[in-house]
Chains A and B, each alone.
Chain A
């Protein structure tokens, strides 16, 4: 089985811009979770989509949003970028919702905001 893929792998944006990141889960997985990883805060849960619906949500502002398509691919959008949004964004796919079953992580998208 092909693993979780994320595009792009690296991205540089300017403060105030918006960005869209993409995640393709393992075939057959319907859950996609997004995480932000920074040296200071570690791994923080953003949100989870399951069967095109946002099921669970972390404590991030509304500038962070996402969606999931019928083929389970998911996108994450960050609007009005701030310097503090610079991070590695990881997505993880799973066969079930809520983190009970193993989550398979992608390689991440490294976002740098200047």
Chain B
């Protein structure tokens, strides 16, 4: 069965320091991965997806099929990056498609 693991429930980083949010997945098919973010008192929203290969708000994520990982990185953390981050895996199983989310990592940027 498919699974998304975010090993860190909480992560605190100083402003200006690099950030890495870990995401590992388990899936026998061809994975499509996403990062969603929820800022305080806002709705869950898409941050980026691996097929886009783009940088959003300074964040990047590279799909590593060998390590089955999709870690989210930013070289210099900013205070506005404090939020809840969810990694999600899109799977298709006999035509049944869905997003499977990790349990999330709460990122706190220390001023």
Q: For chain A, residues 37 to 73, give those with C-beta under 8 angstroms from any C-beta of chain B.
A: 41-45, 48, 55-58
Set of chain B residues within 8 Å of A97, measured between Cβ atoms: 97
Chain B contact residue count (CB 8 A cutoff):
19
How distant is the Cα of A43 from the Cα of B92 in the complex, in angstroms? Answer: 18
Answer yes or no: A90 CB below 8 A from chain B CBs.
Answer: yes
Question: In the complex, A33→B97 CA distance in Å?
Answer: 11
Q: Which of A8-16, A18-26, A77-85, A99-107 sits within the interface?
A: A99-107
Partner of A98, one of B44, B86, B90: B90
Q: Kindly state the separation between the CA atoms of A106 and B100 in the bound complex, as whole angstroms.
A: 18
- In the bound complex, residues from chain A placing their C-beta under 8 Å from that of B86 are 42-43
A57 to B90, CA, bound (A): 13
Q: Is B96 at the interface (CB under 8 A from chain A)?
A: yes
The distance from the CB of A32 to the nearest CB of chain B, in whole angstroms, is 13
CA distance A77 to B103 in the complex (A): 25
Q: Is A3 on the interface with B (CB-CB < 8 A)? A: yes
How many interface residues does A have (CB within 8 Å)?
26
Q: Does B45 contact A (CB under 8 A)?
A: yes
**Min CB gap B85→A, angstroms:** 12
A99/B90 in contact, CB under 8 A: yes
Please measure, in the bound complex, the distance between the C-alpha atom of A52 and the C-alpha atom of B55, giving whole angstroms: 36
Please give, as numbers and ranges, the residues of chain B lying within 8 Å of A98 by CB-CB distance: 90, 92, 97-98
| B98 with A107: CB separation less than 8 A | no
Contacting residues, chain B, for A90 (C-beta < 8 A)? 44
Given contacts A42-B104, A43-B86, contact A103 B46 (CB under 8 A): yes
Say whether B102 contacts A42, CB under 8 Å: yes
Cα separation A44 to B32 with both chains bound (whole Å) = 17
Q: How far apart are A111's CB and chain B's nearest CB, in angstroms? A: 17
Binding site for A on B (CB under 8 A): 32, 43-46, 49, 86, 88, 90, 92, 96-104
Pairs of residues from A and B, 8 with the lowest C-beta to C-beta distance, nearest first: A98-B97, A43-B101, A42-B103, A99-B99, A105-B44, A102-B46, A45-B98, A99-B90
Q: A90-B44, A99-B97 are in contact. List 4 more A-B contacts (CB 8 A).
A: A42-B101, A42-B102, A99-B32, A103-B46
